[in-house]
Amino acid sequence: MTKRIFALVLVCVMCLGLFACSSKEADLYNKYKDIIDALEEEDYQSAYLAMVELANKAETDENGDTTPETTDPAIEAFQASLVGNWIPSAWDADEYGAVSFEITADGKLVMGDETYPLEVEYEYADSVDYNINDGDTKLYSLDIYIDDDDAYCASFSKYDEEEGYYEGIGTYYLESQYIKVELTADNFSDYFEESEEYVVLNENSFGETTSFWVNRDMMLKSEYGKVNSELSHVALEYSYTSKPYEYTADIENATHEIGAEVEGYDPEEGTSVVTLGNYCGENNDRYGFDYISYYMSNNEGTVWIYSDFGIVRIQGAIYIFNAE
C-alpha cells in the first residue's frame, strides 16, 4: 500500500481515536490501537500487518454470515446471567400497563406472543445495550446494567416513529434475583417488627436543638435484608389505640422519659391507611412505615402514644433481594 493510502487510513483511524473520549467507544479505540500506534510511528508495514490480523479475526461461514471476534469472557458471563424473566416496576405496571418479558439463552426477547432477536449495540462486563428491530424498522431499545444495590436493572423503551425517538416503557428487574412474598394478616408479623426508638432533631441556625421527634417504625426484620421498593407495592390499613402519657425532656440533649398514663382521658381508637416503602429507620433506608411518632418541644408535657397494633386489611407483595 502507498503512503497516500496509509495517510488516508491514518485520518480515519484518528477520528476513531477522538471518539474514544466517550467510554462507550473505548473498546472501539482499543480495537484499532495497534494500527494507530504503527501509523503514528510511520511504520506502514506493521500497520498493514495489524490491519490484516484484524481482518483475519472475522471468519465467514458457508452462508456468508460474518462471525465477530471472540467476546471478552466477562462480557459473555454477564450476558449469560441476564437469561430469565424480567418484571416491570409496580408503578410502570399499574400506571402504564408494562408487561413482563423473557430473555432466552439464544439471545432473544420474548414478550407475549412475539419473539425478537437482540442486537448488541454496546457491551461491557457490567452493562449491555440492545437494539430490537424488524429489518430496518426500529422497534425497541433495552439497556441493562447493575444498579447501586447490585440488582440487575433494565430500561426498556419503544421507538416512536412519528416523533423519531425512543419513549420509555418502564424499568424492569430480573425476577430470579428476588423472593416474592404475598403479605397477609397472618404472615405480616413473620416479616415485620416494631423498631427500636430513635430521635430526629430539629435545630436552629446555630446548630442548637430546639425540639425533636421520637419515632418507632414498623419495619422489615433485618434478617431478610433488602427489599426492592420499585417492585414491591403494599397497602395496609391498621388499627390502634392511643393513650396520653406524661413526659419530661431535656431538649438540648434530646433525651426524654415517659411517665404515667394521664388519668381522666378515654383511650382513642382509630385506623390508619399507609403504603409501605424504603423510608424508615434512622437512615430512612429500611422498608416499612412510620408507626409511632410524637413531638417534644418543652421540658415536660403530655404525648399521645399508639399501642395495640392490629391489621384491618392488607394487599400486595414484597420482593426481597435473594442474596444466594
Domain boundaries, the chain: 3-60, 73-177, 183-321
Residue 6 predicted with pLDDT over 60: no
User: In which element (H, E) is residue 247 found?
Assistant: strand 233-250
Give residue 54's pLDDT band: very low, low, confident or very high (50, 70, 90). low
Per residue in 115-153, pLDDT (tens digit) is 999 999 999 999 999 999 998 899 999 999 999 888 999
Residue 103 predicted with pLDDT over 70: yes
Give residue 71's pLDDT band: very low, low, confident or very high (50, 70, 90). low
Closest CA to 308 of 254, 264, 270, 266: 270
Residue 308 predicted with pLDDT over 60: yes
Give residue 38's pLDDT band: very low, low, confident or very high (50, 70, 90). low
Give residue 37's pLDDT band: very low, low, confident or very high (50, 70, 90). confident
- Rounded-to-integer distance, Cα 95 and Cα 91, Å: 6
pLDDT of residue 323: 65
Residue 80 predicted with pLDDT over 50: yes
First CA to last CA distance, the chain: 57
Give me the residue label for grid cell 467507544. Answer: 25
Per residue in 159-218, pLDDT (tens digit) is 999 899 999 999 999 999 999 999 999 999 999 999 999 999 999 999 999 999 999 999
Residue 110 predicted with pLDDT over 50: yes
pLDDT of residue 4: 45
> Helix, strand, or coil here: 108?
strand
Which amino acid does the sequence have at 200? V
Q: What is the mean pLDDT of residues 90-115?
A: 95
Which amino acid does the sequence have at 193? E
- Rounded-to-integer distance, Cα 287 and Cα 191, Å: 11
Q: Minimum mean pLDDT among 50-64, 66-80, 303-317: which range?
A: 50-64
Give the CA count within 13 Å in the CB-facing half-sphere of 292: 21
Q: How many CB atoms lie within 10 A of CB 205?
A: 5
pLDDT of residue 50: 64
Give residue 284's pLDDT band: very low, low, confident or very high (50, 70, 90). confident
DSSP state of 266: P
Q: Which residues, including other chains, have CB under 8 Å from residue 145's CB and lie 6 or more apart? A: 126, 127, 152, 153, 154
Q: Which residues, including other chains, have CB under 8 Å from residue 56's CB and lie 6 or more apart? A: none
Q: Alpha-carbon Rg of the chain, whole angstroms? A: 30
Q: Within 41-153, where are the H helices?
A: 44-56, 73-80, 90-96
CATH tag, 73-177? 2.40.128
> Helix, strand, or coil here: 112?
coil
User: In which element (H, E) is residue 218 found?
Assistant: strand 209-220
Q: Minimum mean pLDDT among 50-64, 136-150, 278-292: which range?
A: 50-64
pLDDT of residue 177: 96
Give residue 62's pLDDT band: very low, low, confident or very high (50, 70, 90). very low
User: Does residue 38 contact residue 54 with C-beta atoms inside 8 Å?
Assistant: no
According to DSSP, the β-strands at 178-182 and 300-321 are antiparallel
Residue 281 predicted with pLDDT over 90: no
Locate 147 and state its grid cell.
444498579
Give residue 48's pLDDT band: very low, low, confident or very high (50, 70, 90). low
> Helix, strand, or coil here: 257?
strand
According to DSSP, the β-strands at 165-174 and 178-182 are unpaired
Q: What is the mean pLDDT of residues 86-99?
A: 94
The burial class, CB within 10 Å (0-12 / 13-18 / 19+), for 211 is middle
Residue 100 predicted with pLDDT over 90: yes
Residue 233 predicted with pLDDT over 90: yes
Mean pLDDT of the chain: 85
Residue 13 predicted with pLDDT over 80: no
